[in-house]
Structure 1
Amino acid sequence: MTMSVVVTGLGIVAPNGLGTEEYWAATRSGKGGIGRITRFDPAQYPAKLAGQVTGFVAESHLPSRLLPQTDRMTRLALVAADWALAEAGVTPKELPEFDMGVITASSSGGFEFGQGELEKLWSQGSQFVSAYQSFAWFYAVNSGQISIRNGMKGPSGVVVSDQAGGLDAVAQARRQIRKGTRLIVSGAVDASICPWGWVAQLAGKRLSTSDEVTRAYLPFDSEARGHVPGEGGAILILEDASAARSRGAKVYGEISGYGATFDPKPGSAREPGLRKAIELALADADAAPGDVDVVFADAAAIPALDRIEAEAITAVFGPKGVPVTAPKTMTGRLYSGAAPLDLAAAFLAMEEGLIPPTVHVQQASEYDIDLVTAQPRTTEVRTALVLARGHGGFNSAMVVRAKDPVASG
């Protein structure tokens, strides 16, 4: 029998809420966190809106020695990991250090820290550049700092596949648990809301340049014009189900299936790979399309990409065959942190029996999907599918199920 891998803790840092309770209260009711950028003056840039994490004071959560060596994304990730471990009822120092690992995803690394050090290099000289620049910018730094802080020496790593990376990291964590590691801290937190990061994103030509919060990020809408970026994400605690059961842990649900594909070369006659990723995830979960109660969409808000996603969903589930939602319209697209946050939302949706809304969107008639807009939808949620795509052709899909701890195994 294949080992069941479950989620026992969530650590959430999102533009519309810090912590699981605050985030879900906002998300279930359609409260967003997108606004004009305040972390720098965006007046000179064509895109001026972002989902920013507010109310986070790193000094209130982390020792002072860590602050000079960490980027904002790492501070958010460390605190999210602390919250997730606490929610899971795990005290790392009480477990064997090689029984715990950390596998996260990253889209761009510590851009804000890097920008600050480059400014010092250009304006003051190399002797003023922090030695911490050698790793504070690096993609793997969140995995490294979480593992050091918690004494975790088991299988660890980082996955870099843009927005799809968050699901890919959780899938890799599941593999390691099935190989015998007791616990893996996984998920992703990203933060690139700084001038250097902003210019890099603008170069991709996928950012919305609307200044109207309620009409800027509109996936599956006839007025779709690109996405609004955001910062934050979610850290999840993954465990072998039997180990979680033996210590009486609360279980949010199971990571049941995963599939990943890569799109063909642009202009190719071959079809995009998202549908295949969905089919692989369903097969891995031993689930039929009819078992899925909700799809959390990637929601690119680029008409061509929205069409590909809608067609993949209808090809698998049929026209309007399954409720579809994109709560990231409240937060913006959080780079690699987006899909882990969707996983967290899926587990919370299961817990309450409520599908959060896709705010602000007026679904275009050309998309034959059952998009949950404006208001949340009350319904039983036992199985959810989360989709994520990364720039350049990455496709990932993950099936999660509600799981009673007594039935885990």
Structure 2
Amino acid sequence: MTARAVVTGIGVVAPSGIGAEAHWNTVLAGTRRTGPITLFDPERYPTRVAGEVAGFDPAGSSDTRQRVQTDRWTHLGFAATKLALADAGLPEVSPDPYKWAVTLASSSGGNLFGQRELQRLWGGPSRTVGAYQSIAWFYAASVGQLSIRHQFKGPSGVTVSESAGGLDSLAHAVRTVRRGTPVVIAGATECPLSPYALACQLRSGLLSDVADPERAYRPFDVAASGYVPAEGGAVFVVEELGHALARGARVYGEITGWAATHDAAPTDPAVGPDPAHYARAMRLALERAAVRPHDVDVIWPDALGVPAYDRSEADALRAVFGARTPPVTTQKPLTGRAHQGGSALDAATALLAFRRGMLPASAGPDEPAPGCELTFLRQPRPPRSRIALVGARGFDGFNSALVLRGAAPPPAGDR
């Protein structure tokens, strides 16, 4: 039989809170956690609002040597992984290193560390960078550091597909489980908040320049003006079902289907991407999960907040599900868009919703833009089929879709 891959641990370090419980409370209450950028002075930039992880102290999950060698993006990964392992009831150091692996998503790498070193190179008399520049900046830094710290020596890797990467990481974890590795750490964190990183994002023309955090990020809304960047994300313990059951682990749900496609064409921001390949990814994911479109309980969309992209996503959803889609919900306006960390966070929200027996209301839109009239979930409600489709699109044409099936609900006191 094909091995089944389930999620047994969730670690969240995001603007919505540190820990799955804090994140869930923020999501259910619909509390906005975006605000003025504080990690650097953004005064000279048109975008000055972001989602930051308030009160984050990296000392709780890494030692001094690791912190000196790595960037805040990796510090967030250390913390999320520690939380996920604890949530799954697993030790921090693998007792069987070659049976444990780690595959995370990445895109922009160690921005704050690199910013400091490049300023030293070009702005100081020494004209040098520190010895750890190449280590901390490298897109695979988090995977390498986690492998060393926790002794994950199984087949490990990095997926690089921008916002789609958080879902691709989970899909890769399932493949790794099916090939015989019983425990895989998956997911993603991100920290795109430095002058250099913000300048790179501004070049795309997709960021919001609205100064009011309450109105800056409004996907699918008539007032949509672009996205708000964010740091953080979510890390998961993905485990072979038999292995999980043998040790009495709690199971959040199963990853039953996934697919990735690519547009293979440049995107005009004024027109938006062709919805056909994104729709194909969703159809393939549903087919591989043996799920019919009308059986889907809820959809977490990419929700970029750029009008042309939002219309394209709405067209893709209608192409798969028909004129009346299943309920659609997004919490990205509450946290900002953490790129690959954001799609991982959507998957975490879906699994927590099934665990808690409540689908969270969508954080907007207040007034759907023309072409974006989807079936938005306006009030929290209990799940029915316990099947979620999570979608994500990465810059330059990446499309991914993931189907999650929530585990049977636990007794009310154990949620």
The corresponding residue for 1:133 is: 133
| Cα distance in structure 2, aligned partners of 1:279 and 1:188 | 24
| Cα distance in structure 2, aligned partners of 1:369 and 1:329 | 17
> Is residue 368 from structure 1 mapped to residue 373 from structure 2 by the alignment?
yes
The corresponding residue for 2:345 is: 341
The corresponding residue for 1:247 is: 247
> Is residue 388 from structure 1 mapped to residue 387 from structure 2 by the alignment?
no
* Preserved contact between residue 112 and residue 193 of structure 2 (Cα < 8 Å): yes
The amino acid across from 1:273 in the alignment is: H
* Preserved contact between residue 320 and residue 368 of structure 1 (Cα < 8 Å): no
* Preserved contact between residue 184 and residue 238 of structure 1 (Cα < 8 Å): yes
* Preserved contact between residue 274 and residue 312 of structure 2 (Cα < 8 Å): no
| Cα distance in structure 2, aligned partners of 1:356 and 1:392 | 30
| Cα distance in structure 2, aligned partners of 1:366 and 1:308 | 9
| Cα distance in structure 2, aligned partners of 1:133 and 1:54 | 26
The corresponding residue for 2:287 is: 283
The corresponding residue for 2:320 is: 316
**Percent of aligned pairs with the same amino acid:** 45
The corresponding residue for 2:40 is: 40
* Preserved contact between residue 164 and residue 400 of structure 2 (Cα < 8 Å): yes
* Preserved contact between residue 10 and residue 237 of structure 1 (Cα < 8 Å): yes
Superposition deviation, residue 379 in structure 1: 3.8
Change (3 A) 1:405 1:99: farther
The amino acid across from 1:366 in the alignment is: G
- Larger deviation, residues 325-334 vs 396-405: 396-405
The corresponding residue for 1:325 is: 329
| Cα distance in structure 1, aligned partners of 2:267 and 2:377 | 32
The corresponding residue for 2:413 is: none
The amino acid across from 2:280 in the alignment is: K
- Larger deviation, residues 359-368 vs 394-403: 359-368
Unaligned runs of 5+ residues in structure 2 are 411-415
Change (3 A) 1:323 1:84: same
> Is residue 175 from structure 1 mapped to residue 175 from structure 2 by the alignment?
yes
* Preserved contact between residue 314 and residue 368 of structure 1 (Cα < 8 Å): no
Q: Deviations over 1:250-306 (max 9, x none)?
A: 000001100111114248997531110000000110111122100001001111111
Superposition deviation, residue 96 in structure 1: 1.0
Q: Deviations over 1:304-357 (max 9, x none)?
A: 111111111112212223000111111111011011111100001111222223
Change (3 A) 1:309 1:264: same
The corresponding residue for 1:23 is: 23
- Larger deviation, residues 131-140 vs 269-278: 269-278
| Cα distance in structure 1, aligned partners of 2:16 and 2:92 | 29
Superposition deviation, residue 162 in structure 1: 0.6
The corresponding residue for 1:257 is: 257
The amino acid across from 2:212 in the alignment is: E
Query: What TM-score, normalized by structure 2, do the two folds share?
Result: 0.94
Unaligned runs of 5+ residues in structure 1 are none
Number of residue pairs matched by the alignment: 405
